[in-house]
């Protein structure tokens, strides 16, 4: 049986590892480490605070989402003085898209810091973006809005927000495909069915039909993901012959 000394020593080492990994990501010293510990705690841990309330990253994720949206909105407002409301809204959506947030979370390897009782391999892709938003919420609670703003500018805006590239970025290939079909009076159908195979997670497969032909196939952990992947494949396969363009991006 492990001694109490070894148990506490092990915990201290883990807390120290977490602290320095966090400091490296943030670029500054965290003040209240407990806020960040909660920001990286998955609901599967069933952690409860002194008031009997659940402690996990979901509430901070909500807060971080709001903080991120406001900082990006302010940046675009200043950066593109001639952009109207519709343009600015679309551009912000591209920056804070789930796909982009997942990419940010993966780049920072945030999932390695998540405390969970469920194997991380069982999580869907959105865990990366969810934890990233939670981290932003934690920064706000620990340091305030100015620190959040500096972090987002350093970690998101400076390396990733290029106005010209964003203008050509497609948010949803499915929406683009559907709009093209409607505009050109072409029939289409997303035929979705369960296709789990040997995967531990539930999967769906989709066959995208254009008129009488199957133009793309794809799989995903949700119907939405499978349809989006099929539409993206159809987009790149048919963009020349069908004259797709980025005007709806």
Structural tokens at position 138: 């934690």
Contact predicate 116/45, CB 8 Å = yes
pLDDT in the model for residue 174: 86
What does the pLDDT read at residue 241?
A: 65
- How far is C-alpha 119 from the geometric centre of its chain's CA atoms? 19
pLDDT at residue 46, rounded to an integer = 87
Q: What are the structural domains, with CATH classification, of the chain?
A: 4-167 (1.10.1520.10), 173-248 (3.30.160.20)
Question: CA separation (Å) from 202 to 112, 123, 187, 194, 199?
Answer: 23, 11, 29, 8, 7
User: pLDDT (tens digit, 0 to 9) for every residue of the chain, 249 residues total?
Assistant: 444 444 334 456 667 889 999 999 999 999 999 999 999 999 888 888 778 788 889 999 999 999 999 999 999 999 999 889 988 998 898 899 888 899 999 999 999 999 999 888 788 889 999 999 999 999 999 999 999 999 999 999 998 888 877 777 777 788 888 888 888 888 999 998 887 666 667 788 999 999 889 999 998 888 888 898 898 898 888 876 665 554 444
3-state secondary structure of 49: coil
- Residue partners of 191: CB distance under 8 A and separation at least 6: 206, 207, 208, 209
Question: What is the spatial distance between Cα 233 and Cα 174, in angstroms, rounded to a whole number?
Answer: 10
pLDDT given at position 25: 94
Total residues found in the chain within this entry: 249
Q: What is the pTM of this model?
A: 0.68
Residue-wise DSSP of 138-172 = HHHHHH-HHHHHHHHIIIIIHHH--HHHHHT--S-
The pLDDT score that the predictor gives to residue 197 is 67
Q: Which residues are catalytic?
A: 65, 133
Pair 140, 64: CB distance under 8 Å: yes
The predicted structure's pLDDT at residue 245: 52
232 and 217 Cβ atoms separated by less than 8 Å: no
Q: Phi first, then psi: what are they for 114, rounded to 5°?
A: -75, 130
pLDDT of residue 199: 66
Beta bridge partners of 218: 206
């Amino acid at each position: 049986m492990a001694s109490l000394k070894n148990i506490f020593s092990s915990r201290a080492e883990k807390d120290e590892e977490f602290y320095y990994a966090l400091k490296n990501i943030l670029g500054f010293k965290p003040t209240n480490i407990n806020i960040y510990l909660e920001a990286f705690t998955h609901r599967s841990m069933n952690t409860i605070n002194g008031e009997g309330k659940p402690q996990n990253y979901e509430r901070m994720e909500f807060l971080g989402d709001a903080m991120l949206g406001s900082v990006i909105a302010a940046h675009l407002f200043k950066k593109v003085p001639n952009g109207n409301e519709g343009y600015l809204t679309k551009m912000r959506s591209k920056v804070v898209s789930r796909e982009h947030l997942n990419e940010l979370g993966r780049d920072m390897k945030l999932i390695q810091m998540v405390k969970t009782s469920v194997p991380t391999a069982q999580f869907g892709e959105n865990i990366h973006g969810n934890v990233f938003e939670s981290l932003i919420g934690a920064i706000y609670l620990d340091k305030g809005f100015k620190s959040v703003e500096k972090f987002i500018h350093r970690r998101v805006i400076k390396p990733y927000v290029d106005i010209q590239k964003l203008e050509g970025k497609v948010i949803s290939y499915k929406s683009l495909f559907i709009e093209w079909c409607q505009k050109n009076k072409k029939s289409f159908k997303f035929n979705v069915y369960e296709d789990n195979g040997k995967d531990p997670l539930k999967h769906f497969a989709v066959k995208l039909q254009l008129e009488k032909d199957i133009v793309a196939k794809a799989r995903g952990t949700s119907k939405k993901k499978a349809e989006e992947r099929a539409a993206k494949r159809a987009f790149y396969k048919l963009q020349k012959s069908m004259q797709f363009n980025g005007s709806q991006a």
